[in-house]
Amino acid sequence: MDAVIEVDGLRKTYGTTVAVDDLSFSVGRGEIFGILGPNGAGKTTTVESLAGLRRPDRGRVRVLGLDPQAQGRELRQRIGLQLQQAALPERIRVREAVELFASFYRRPLDGTELLERWGLADKGNAAFASLSGGQRQRLFIALALVGDPELVILDELTAGLDPQARRVTWELVAAIRAAGTTVVLVTHLMDEAERLCDRVAIIDEGRIVAQGTPAELIRPLATGAQVRFSATNEFDAAWMEGVAGVTRVVREDEQIVVHGSGPLLARVATALAEREVPLADLRAEQHTLEDVFLAVTGRRLRD
């Protein structure tokens, strides 16, 4: 697969703060590639370096065969970019925004067709301030695509959206790739990456701690089992570590997560019944990318 992005030994600091430290990865043409990690991990600094908006302290970066620093103007004609802090003037109309962004490119797409494709045809005369969160995100995608890019970078695209709007946005991202555009998706939402991405790089404290397809990263955990149930704050789950097959018990707010092996669901259910603990939402769960993050960093994603 052709490499659209090649990063080797990327490092960027701000004073004494190391934002990214010795990052190396590549992105193949036609992929949805996820850059994942908690807030402050260095994700945005990484993509800003890819777009030529940040000058790395060290390392080699090539995007579509171009140096983002030396050939940034040419590169930005071939990529689309939606940054985490994207915003528009409240009074600008949707059609005006598309026409403005189209003027930046030598061969832009037709704005009317673009608005139609992204479900905004009836919002052409609407002010940006009047749009819902989901409509704003669709507009930002349209603006990132107006130059007909070979590569589009989407940074925290679904932050702040409700679950329904998030899922609609996921379908739109999949449609971008289906049209032949390579996508770099930057997110701290592991379920989003697991749903959309062909490959991912998980970043923590400026370093890549895991890289591969979601299935490859989850597979080493598949030998274990995981059971979850609801419990009151007064419930002390420490005793459950003595149940046969249990290796670890974790509280997540009002949920208890039991890790182990063997017929774990049956053993946990039996142990709770013997102690006359009411069973609520008891269920077996599959391992996820967030479990991978915990395994490689030793902490929860939200810490």
Q: Quote the pLDDT of residue 216.
A: 92
If asked whether residues 168 and 236 sit together in one domain, one would say no
Is the predicted pLDDT of residue 249 greater than 70, yes or no?
yes
Q: Are residues 23 and 54 in the same domain?
A: yes
Residue type, 161: L
Distances (CA, A) of 207 to 23, 191, 222, 303: 6, 21, 25, 17
- 41-90 tens-digit pLDDT: 899 999 999 999 999 999 999 999 999 999 999 999 999 998 877 789 99
**% of the chain at pLDDT higher than 90:** 61
- Residue 17 pLDDT: 93
Residue 207 within any structural domain of the chain: yes
Q: In the predicted model, what is the mean pLDDT of residues 228-240?
A: 88
State what percent of residues in the chain have pLDDT above 70: 97
Total Cβ atoms within 10 A of residue 4: 21
Task: Look at residue 269 and tell me if it is in a domain.
Answer: yes
Cα separation of the two ends of the chain: 36
Amino acid, single-letter form, for residue 205: E
Q: Which CATH number fits the domain that encloses residue 114?
A: 3.40.50.300
> What average pLDDT does the segment 8-17 reach?
95
Provide the whole-model pTM.
0.81
CATH number at 249 reads 3.30.70.980
- Four-residue CA torsion sign, 216, 190, 8, 177: positive
pLDDT tens per residue, range 173-212: 898 899 899 999 998 888 899 999 999 999 999 999 999 9
In this structure, is residue 147 part of a structural domain? yes
CB atoms within 10 A of CB 298: 9
Span 100-114, average pLDDT = 95
Residue 147's domain comprises: 3-218
Band of residue 168 on the pLDDT scale cut at 50, 70, 90: confident
pLDDT for 7 equals 97
**Is there a single domain that holds both residue 113 and residue 228?**
no
Q: What is the mean pLDDT of residues 297-301?
A: 67
Same domain, 213 and 229: no
Tell which of 218, 235, 253 closes a domain: 218
- Asked if pLDDT for residue 303 goes beyond 50, the answer is no
Calculated CA dihedral for residues 280, 239, 285, 263, nearest 10 degrees: -110
| pLDDT at 294 > cutoff 70 | yes
Number of domains present in the structure of the chain: 2
Q: Which residue has the higher pLDDT, 131 or 160?
A: 131
> Are both 278 and 259 inside the same structural domain?
yes
Instruction: Examine the domain organization and report whether 79 and 178 are in the same domain.
Output: yes
Last residue of some domain: 167, 193, 218?
Answer: 218
SS (H, E, C) the chain: CCEEEEEEEEEEEECCEEEEEEEEEEEECCCEEEEECCCCCCHHHHHHHHCCCCCCCEEEEEECCECCCCCHHHHHCCEEEECCCCCCCCCCEHHHHHHHHHCCCCCCCCHHHHHHHCCCHHHCCCEHHHCCHHHHHHHHHHHHHCCCCCEEEEECCCCCCCHHHHHHHHHHHHHHHHCCCEEEEEECCHHHHHHHCCEEEEEECCEEEEEECHHHHHHHHCCCEEEEEECCCCCCCHHHHHCCCEEEEEEECCEEEEEECCCHHHHHHHHHHHCCCCCCCCEEECCCHHHHHHHHHCCCCCC
Residues 211 and 228 in one domain: no
Check residue 299 and give its pLDDT: 66
Q: Are residues 146 and 238 in the same domain?
A: no
Average pLDDT (23-37) is 95
**pLDDT for position 63:** 98
Domain match, 132 and 177 both: yes
Do 211 and 232 share a domain, yes or no? no
Q: Taking residues 103-123, what's their average pLDDT?
A: 93
List, for residues 202-231, the tens digit of each pLDDT value: 999 999 999 999 999 988 877 778 899 988
Per residue in 123-156, pLDDT (tens digit) is 999 999 999 988 998 899 899 999 999 999 999 8
- What pLDDT is stored for residue 262 in this prediction? 86
Mean pLDDT (the chain, rounded): 90
